[in-house]
Amino acid sequence: MSLRNLRNALIVMGAFLALIWILQVVNWTDHYQLDQEYGILPRSVGRLGDIFSAPFLHASWEHIEGNSVPLFVLGVAAAYRSLLRFAALTVFVAITSGLTVWFFQSGNTVTIGASGLIFGYFGYVLVRGIVDRNWIDLLVGLLAGAAYYSILAVALPGTPGISWLGHIGGLVGGVAAAWLLRTPRAVSSGGARRPFLAGTRTSAGTAGSPARRTGPSAGGTSGGSQSADDLLRDLKDMGL
């Protein structure tokens, strides 16, 4: 893990938290009118775009306080590998969480809050280490799961005042994003990973044809076993 990447992730999530707290102050001074104007209103075509503004708004000080720590910690865990992927993840989870609420939430009550993003980051961090087969990411995911497993309880249907649909939509989006945004893996034609070797040998392309050297290895290095193999082939070609 790069310290520079970690620093960038901390800066991004710090700015994210600063923004939602500034909006909370503005919202509070205006008697939470922003919630009513920019929250998700189910099946209102004119309000569909509010799926992107709703995560930045909260219904009370208790609401934003409860979301801030897990949002920051899980956000940093999700962002430290790549800010570009993190941006794509955030947009994707906002869409899956928001559309789940927009389509399936009953009544005309607006839904706001960063909980959908929190669940999305949670699912992404847990699954990313498995998908990418990265031990560090897997450890981060397990630690995050151990620290925040209790937040899953609020996603159960029937919890008063909680949009469990938004939480579930975010979680599904995060898990799906872990697969869609997985790290590309270099593979050979047989499907197994192989290192990239520059300037060693090229085969003639037919069965039984001897391999010919194209020049010295990149950087002036020559592996001992590789040189020995080439020498034996050259001697064999000369009839020695």
Q: How far is the C-alpha of 196 from the C-alpha of 34, rounded, in Å?
A: 54
Structural Rg of the chain based on CA atoms: 26
CA 25 distance to own-chain centroid: 30
What is the structure's pLDDT at 136?
Answer: 80
> What is the full DSSP assignment across 135-189?
HHHHHHHHHHHHHHGGGGGGGSTT-TT--HHHHHHHHHHHHHHHHHTPPP----T
In the block, tokens 């997985």 appear at 182
CB 109 within 8 A of CB 161: no
Residue 218 vs residue 233, higher pLDDT: 233
Structure confidence by residue, pLDDT tens digits, 87-111 = 999 999 999 999 999 999 988 889 9
What is the structure's pLDDT at 133?
Answer: 82
What number is the average pLDDT over the span 158-174? 84
Q: How far is the C-alpha of 183 from the C-alpha of 201, rounded, in Å?
A: 29
- Domains of the chain as residue ranges with CATH: 3-180 (1.20.1540.10), 201-237 (no CATH)
In the block, tokens 């999530």 appear at 13
E strands, the chain, in order: 201-202, 212-213
Structure confidence by residue, pLDDT tens digits, 25-60 = 999 999 999 999 999 999 999 999 999 999 999 999
What number is the average pLDDT over the span 180-202? 52
CB 85 within 8 A of CB 128: no
What number is the average pLDDT over the span 57-79? 93
Structure confidence by residue, pLDDT tens digits, 140-160 = 777 877 777 666 666 556 566
What number is the average pLDDT over the span 189-195? 43
